[in-house]
Amino acid sequence: MRGTGSAFTFIIVISCLVAGCGYKTNPRPAAATLPGEVGPVDAFAYPDRIVLRWDVPLANTDGSAFKDISGFKVFRAMRKIGEECEKCEYDRKPHANVDFQRATNAEIAEGKVLYTDKDINSGNAYTYSVNVYNLRGRESRPSADVTVAFDDPPKSPENLYADIAAGGIVLEWTTPAEKEGIQGYRVYRGSTGNPEEMKPIGTTRADEASFVDKTVEKEKTYHYMVRSVKMNNFISMESRPSSIVRVIVPVEHTDPPANVKAEAMPGGMRVHWDRAAIPGKEVRYNVYRSEGNKPTEKINTEPVRESWLVDRKIRKGMTYGYAVTAFPEGKPDYESSRSVTPAVRYNP
């Protein structure tokens, strides 16, 4: 009996050695999880730069949350405009690296990345793609390409003017004389006069030279500018900015003067109007003049107290238009909208 038990034990040991008793080697490592690729990359062209915008990826390729983003690699290919084609193989080269944690060459906010490329020249087409990589250095597949034909920008709008109305701030401008390629205008607004800090708030068609900002608040200061926009392969290219106008929204709306008229007389043009009324406050006026097709300019150096003004800096045979505004004494920023006269030729 004892010998039989020993033989049985020996057989079990041999069987375990051969079969491994359910454990043979170290488990095979799971396939490495890769970051999900960057979604569509939007591109915007300006006279001195190209701006790329994309969303921060939220998931890995296996559907798990992407929580270990390290950065983005921007690749770029360049060729002359006219040489690009849909099925060409572009010679992409690494162009920039964006550190997700400490970005110095891009803006990252609210789940979006804005990268600006200023190393550009007119007449070239630039094709971009973006990869994202994690803290382990594992990299996603490239995003879809976006190509920008960086050509001459459109001409800028001129004579931007802001008017305070009951429904908001009314912006008006003169369209450029050279309108070829212009498909609309983009309006920007900011709390300062720095164009780089202004954000787009709306667009108009090419045949519209005005815009109403209905999202303003009382006693706040706003700065505006407008850019012309043309499209090239679905990529917008903007002009240099128009002049910048500054507006302070008053607590109460100031009505403009009524019955503004201009009459030629020996020695000048007499502009007169009905007095405006602002309850509890003295009213002052500004008078503006345009000569022919020239831009409108203010002609009084001090606030006008009376309801008339004689403009003596005029020329015989020229056509003039006038506009008058009202504002509370000491608060010229609370200026009303303009009351405009018909054009009058000066032939006394």
Q: What is the DSSP string of 29-67?
A: PPPPP-BPPP-PPEEEEETTEEEEEEEPP-BBTTS-B--
Alpha carbon distance 201, 221 (integer Å): 16
260-301: pLDDT as tens digits: 999 999 999 999 999 998 888 899 999 999 998 888 899 999
Q: Architecture of domain 258-345 in CATH?
A: Sandwich (2.60)
Candidates 173, 157, 154, 179; CA nearest to 237 is 154
d(C-alpha 256, C-alpha 336), whole Å: 5
Element (H, E) at 329: none
Instruction: Return d(Cα 183, Cα 199) in angstroms, integer.
Output: 20
Strands (E), 65-153: 69-80, 93-99, 106-109, 112-117, 124-134, 146-150
Q: How many CA atoms lie within 13 A of 236 on its CB side?
A: 14
How many CA atoms lie less than 13 Å away from 137 in the CB half-sphere? 0
Structure tokens that stand for 301 in this block: 């150096």
Q: Judge if pTM exceeds 0.85.
A: no
- Position 336 pLDDT exceeds 70: yes
Q: Which of 95-99, 192-196, 250-254, 338-342 has the lowest mean pLDDT?
A: 250-254
Cβ atoms of 214 and 129 within 8 Å: the answer is: no
Cβ 38 vs Cβ 139: under 8 Å: no
What's the pLDDT at 88? 61
First to last CA, the chain: 144
In this structure, what are the phi and psi dihedrals at residue 13, rounded to the nearest 5 degrees? Answer: -60, -45
What CA–CA distance (Å, rounded) separates 32 from 184?
A: 48
- Contact by Cβ (8 Å): 126, 52: no
Q: What phi and psi, each to the nearest 5 degrees, are found at residue 99?
A: -75, 120
Determine the pLDDT at residue 15: 44
Query: Which of 61-70, 208-217, 242-251 has the weakest average pLDDT?
Result: 242-251
- Common-topology check for domains 158-248 and 258-345: yes
User: Dihedral of the CA atoms 218, 219, 220, 222 (nearest 10)?
Assistant: 90
> Alpha-carbon distance 254 to 275, whole Å?
12
* pLDDT, tens digit, 9 for 90 and up, residues 18-31: 444 444 444 444 45
CATH of span 158-248: 2.60.40.10
50 or 14, which is more confident: 50
Is there a contact between 21 and 125 (Cβ–Cβ < 8 Å)?
Answer: no
What is the per-residue pLDDT across 176-212, written as a single tens digit (0 to 9) for each? 999 888 999 999 999 999 998 999 999 999 999 999 9
- The mean pLDDT value for 116-122 works out to 95
Assign a CATH topology to domain 42-150. Answer: Immunoglobulin-like (2.60.40)
Domain ranges of the chain: 42-150, 158-248, 258-345
What are the strands of the beta sheet with 210-213, ordered from one edge?
158-165, 168-174, 210-213
| Between 5 and 63, the higher pLDDT residue | 63
CB 91 within 8 A of CB 145: no
Q: What is the DSSP letter of 101?
A: S
